[in-house]
Amino acid sequence: SIGVQTLDVIQHFSSQFKILGLAAGQNISLLKQQILTFQPAYVSVSHQNNLETLKEFIKHYNLNTELVYGSQGLRFIATLPSDLLIVAITGTASLLPTCQAIKKKIPIGLASKEVLVSAGKPVMELAQKYQVPILPIDSEAAAIKQCLATDDTSNIEHLTLTASGGPFWKKSLSEFSSITKKQALNHPNWSMGEKITIDSATLMNKGLEVIETHHMFSLPINKIKVLIHPQSLVHGMIEFKDGNIISHMAVPDMRFPIQYVLTYPQKQSHPWPKLSLSDSPALEFYEPDLKKFPLLKLAYEAGIKGGNAPAILNAANEAAVALFLKK
């Protein structure tokens, strides 16, 4: 989802960007369209058995795209000498290529929060060592970065990440055991990939974001709060020591944080719909119910514990979500 939307943004700014490499999984028909449109110099696919059809396709259209595959292919794409690498692979598969890109001093636009959840400390230390910026493509983390507007976090009293609450925040706990995959995949506000949509339904996504934010902004876990905000228009807020709060608002559309990172630090106008406050519903904020959503509590506990606890939590969650998606 993030890859597709990143290409969508890039198409609107086509004079400013060139796609050097693309890495894909199994969706070969979509990849073919993307190769035709963006004509990347290099393409990686996860499985070798997709190489032949792609080779014929590239030959047929007389393109100069070079093909690679597997984890080596991924590493090759991640370490191409580029101005920006967008990391948007679901789960911990993105961890290694991200580290390899950092060592090549390639700036990172990070959509895969699992990278910082499972290895936040070593990854941030590596980024610091190689002086590589890591910019957040997560609407909440991008919101916080824009509210902060400086690297000085010493005046922060606490910050708030908002959560839509997903499809079930109003549902009574007694009905939770009968929730189906289809219901869980039906997110009210955001269009996202399957794994993160399930994580949103359980609020684990917010728990992962708490740990992500903790590493990205070097803030103690207990300074990061979560509020349910069903309208998904306010994405993050910072309350400073003096009680002043700065918040970030935009329509719930991932192209906003994607474009923020692509054109950072510049701001550029774009054609997709912007927020009109007078046409918007009233804004509501609620404390999350940790009895209904115990994974959020668990994420706080793992984050405070530190060490490999968040990596274990994250791996267990990846496995549990995969099993749920397989029914």
**57 vs 27, 35, 42, 292, CA distance in Å?**
15, 10, 14, 50
Closest of 92, 89, 66, 64 to residue 78, by C-alpha: 89
Residue 139 or 146: the one with the smaller Cβ distance to Mg ion is 139
Give the containing element (helix H, strand E) for 37: helix 28-38
Angle, helices 294-305/204-216, rounded to nearest 10 degrees: 30
Cβ at position 237, least distance to Mg ion in Å: 14
| Residue that has been written with the tokens 């559309």 in this structure | 253
Residue 43 or 262: the one with the smaller Cβ distance to Mg ion is 262
Given the rule CB under 5 A, which of 61-69, 136-144, 253-261, 316-324 is the region that contacts Mg ion? 136-144
Residue 34 or 195: the one with the smaller Cβ distance to Mg ion is 195
Cβ at position 295, least distance to Mg ion in Å: 15
Cβ at position 37, least distance to Mg ion in Å: 27
Can you read off the two tokens belonging to residue 123?
């990854």
Q: What is the C-alpha separation between 218 and 126, in angstroms, rounded?
A: 14
Closest of 159, 46, 33 to residue 93, by C-alpha: 46
| Segment 192 to 211, residues that bind Mg ion, using CB under 5 A | none
Q: What is the C-alpha separation between 235 and 227, in angstroms, rounded?
A: 10
318 binds Mg ion (CB under 5 A): no
Q: Which listed residue (114, 138, 253, 318) binds Mg ion by CB under 5 A?
A: 138
| Segment 154 to 183, residues that bind Mg ion, using CB under 5 A | none
Given the rule CB under 5 A, which of 22-30, 138-146, 148-156, 259-267 is the region that contacts Mg ion? 138-146
Cβ at position 287, least distance to Mg ion in Å: 19
Cβ at position 52, least distance to Mg ion in Å: 38
Which residues sit at the interface with Mg ion, rule CB under 5 A? 138-140
